[in-house]
Structure 1
Amino acid sequence: MIRLQKTEWAFLGLILVYSFIPAFGGLIRVLELAGGPQIAPVNARALLAPTPIILHILSSFLFCIVGAVQFLPSIRWHHPTAHRIIGRVIVVAGCVSALSGLWMTHFYVFSEALQGPALYWVRIILGAAMIGLIVWAVVAIGTRDILQHSTSMLRAYAIGQGASTQAVIGIAWIITVGSEALGPLRDGLMIFAWVLNLLVAEILIRSLLRPAKRLRSSAL
Structure 2
Amino acid sequence: MAVSGAVCVAITIFAASAYVTLDMSQARPALHGPVHYGLLVAHVFTGTVAILTGVSQFWPGLRARHPRVHRVMGRVYFGAVLPSSLLGLVCAQLSLYGLATSGPLTVLSALWFVSAVQGLRTARQRRFGEHRIWMIRGFALTGAAVTGRLWGLALGALVSPADEAAGLLVFATANWLSFVVNLLVAEWWIQSRGYARTLPSAAVSPSISSRSAQSSASVA
User: Into which bin does the TM-score normalised by the smaller protein fall?
Assistant: 0.7 to 0.9
The structural deviation recorded for 1:33 is 3.2
Is the Cα–Cα contact under 8 Å of residues 63 and 90 in structure 1 kept in the other structure?
yes
Secondary structure of the structure 1 residue equivalent to 2:126 = coil
Separation in structure 2 between the aligned mates of residue 175 and residue 97 of structure 1, nearest angstrom = 30
**1:141 has 2:127 as partner:** no
Percent of pairs with identical residues? 23
Match of 2:157 among 157, 169, 175: 175
Secondary structure of the structure 1 residue equivalent to 2:84 = helix
Is the Cα–Cα contact under 8 Å of residues 156 and 167 in structure 2 kept in the other structure?
no
- Residues 135/44 of structure 1: CA separation in 2 closer, same or farther (3 Å cut): closer
Q: Which moved more, 1:44-53 or 1:165-174?
A: 44-53
Separation in structure 2 between the aligned mates of residue 61 and residue 152 of structure 1, nearest angstrom = 20
Secondary structure of the structure 1 residue equivalent to 2:157 = helix
Is the Cα–Cα contact under 8 Å of residues 27 and 58 in structure 1 kept in the other structure?
no
Secondary structure of the structure 1 residue equivalent to 2:96 = coil
Matched letter for residue 68 of structure 2: T
The structural deviation recorded for 1:43 is 4.7
Q: Which runs of 5+ in 1 are unaligned?
A: 1-7, 215-220
- Residues 10/131 of structure 1: CA separation in 2 closer, same or farther (3 Å cut): same
Q: How does 1:172-211 map to 2 (within 5 A)?
A: 172-179=154-161, 181-208=166-193, 210=195
Q: Compute the TM-score of the two structures, normalised by the length of structure 1.
A: 0.77
* Equivalent in the alignment of 1:110: 96
Match of 2:81 among 94, 105, 114: 94
Matched letter for residue 52 of structure 1: L
**1:85 has 2:72 as partner:** yes
CA offset digits 1:145-197 (Å, max 9, x no partner): 11211111221211122121121111112323343743345323321221111
The structural deviation recorded for 1:16 is 2.4
CA offset digits 1:31-54 (Å, max 9, x no partner): 2339xxx66668544645332112
* Equivalent in the alignment of 1:156: 138
Is the Cα–Cα contact under 8 Å of residues 69 and 75 in structure 1 kept in the other structure?
yes
Secondary structure of the structure 2 residue equivalent to 1:177 = coil
User: Whose RCO is larger (CA < 8 A, sep 6+)?
Assistant: 1
CA offset digits 1:105-163 (Å, max 9, x no partner): 12x2413xxxx324423322321221111111111112221121111122121112212
* Number of residue pairs aligned between Structure 1 and Structure 2: 196
CA RMSD of aligned residues (A): 2.7
* Equivalent in the alignment of 1:68: 55
- Residues 212/83 of structure 1: CA separation in 2 closer, same or farther (3 Å cut): farther
Matched letter for residue 31 of structure 1: T
The structural deviation recorded for 1:211 is 7.6
Kindly name which structure, 1 or 2, has the bigger radius of gyration based on alpha carbons: 2
Q: Which runs of 5+ in 2 are unaligned?
A: 200-220
Matched letter for residue 76 of structure 1: R
**1:14 has 2:7 as partner:** yes
